[in-house]
């Protein structure tokens, strides 16, 4: 299962709207100008997710994980490699200590960043697509990519798909690459595609 080019463009436009809101919220929170680059969107079976992400996230991965429910339900994650997670928290807090670890304060900042980004994206999907979305409290995990994907595979149906959204956080003169991943059942992915197409049709009529 994959998006047509038109569906991918529509999803990218929706994510872009959420990203502009997220950038504004992060800028207000941190006092730093934060811009999220235009997203690149792809769809992969979860069985192929390790191959799609491994070259970008080798070693330990920092993930902020949120479960969401409603007509479209699944798992939403913000993924950063460990170095990127440290760099992002440094940039957002104006930190000068080049730490190689994520201390408690950095973990709190990272969880809040993930919370803002995931809530903006999921809330935007809910509002613009006119479907109710509820979400759990976000959790930060530090583990290998294999461990992360293993826990997702253990969580639900065998056949699941991952909507992978690649972006970069632009802060001051630096960019930190990351991924927003939404893991969906076949039913939820079908519903998402239907709602995106209906939204796109409404946009064309307005």
The model's pLDDT over 43-84, given as tens digits with 9 standing for 90+, comes to: 988 888 888 887 778 778 999 999 998 888 889 999 998 888
Q: CA angle, corner 149, sides to 146 and 150, nearest 5?
A: 80
10-residue mean pLDDT series, the chain (206 residues): 81 86 84 87 87 81 91 90 87 65 85 87 80 88 87 65 90 87 88 85 76
Task: State the Cα torsion 86-87-92-94 to the nearest 10°.
Answer: 100
**What separation in angstroms does the CA of 155 have from each of 80, 187, 192?**
21, 16, 20
CATH number of the domain at 142, please: 3.40.1550.10
- Give SS3 for 63: strand
Q: CA angle, corner 162, sides to 12 and 122, nearest 5?
A: 55
Domain of 71 in residue numbering reads as: 5-205
Closest CA to 5 of 39, 33, 34, 42: 42
Q: CA angle, corner 76, sides to 25 and 102, nearest 5?
A: 70
pLDDT for residue 63: 92
- Give SS3 for 178: strand
Alpha-carbon distance of 73 to 67, in angstroms, equals 8
pLDDT for residue 98: 54
Closest CA to 29 of 111, 87, 122, 100: 111
Model confidence, pTM: 0.86
Per the structure, the count of domains in the chain is 1
pLDDT for residue 157: 57
């Amino acid at each position: 299962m994959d998006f047509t080019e038109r569906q991918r463009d529509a999803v990218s436009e929706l994510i872009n709207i959420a990203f502009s809101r997220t950038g504004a919220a992060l800028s207000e929170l941190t006092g730093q100008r934060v811009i999220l680059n235009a997203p690149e969107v792809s769809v992969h079976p979860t069985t192929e997710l390790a191959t799609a992400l491994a070259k970008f996230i080798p070693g330990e991965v920092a993930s902020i994980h949120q479960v969401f429910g409603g007509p479209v339900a699944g798992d939403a994650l913000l993924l950063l490699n460990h170095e990127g997670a440290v760099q992002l928290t440094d940039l957002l807090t104006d930190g000068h200590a080049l730490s190689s670890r994520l201390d408690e304060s950095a973990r709190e900042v990272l969880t809040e960043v993930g919370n803002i980004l995931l809530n903006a994206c999921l809330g935007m999907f809910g509002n613009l697509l006119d479907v109710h979305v509820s979400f759990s409290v976000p959790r930060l995990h530090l583990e290998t990519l294999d461990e992360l994907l293993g826990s997702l595979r253990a969580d639900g149906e065998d056949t699941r798909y991952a909507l992978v959204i690649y972006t970069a956080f632009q802060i001051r003169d630096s960019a930190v690459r990351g991924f927003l991943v939404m893991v969906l059942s076949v039913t939820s992915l079908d519903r998402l595609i239907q709602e995106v197409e209906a939204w796109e049709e409404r946009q064309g009529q307005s």
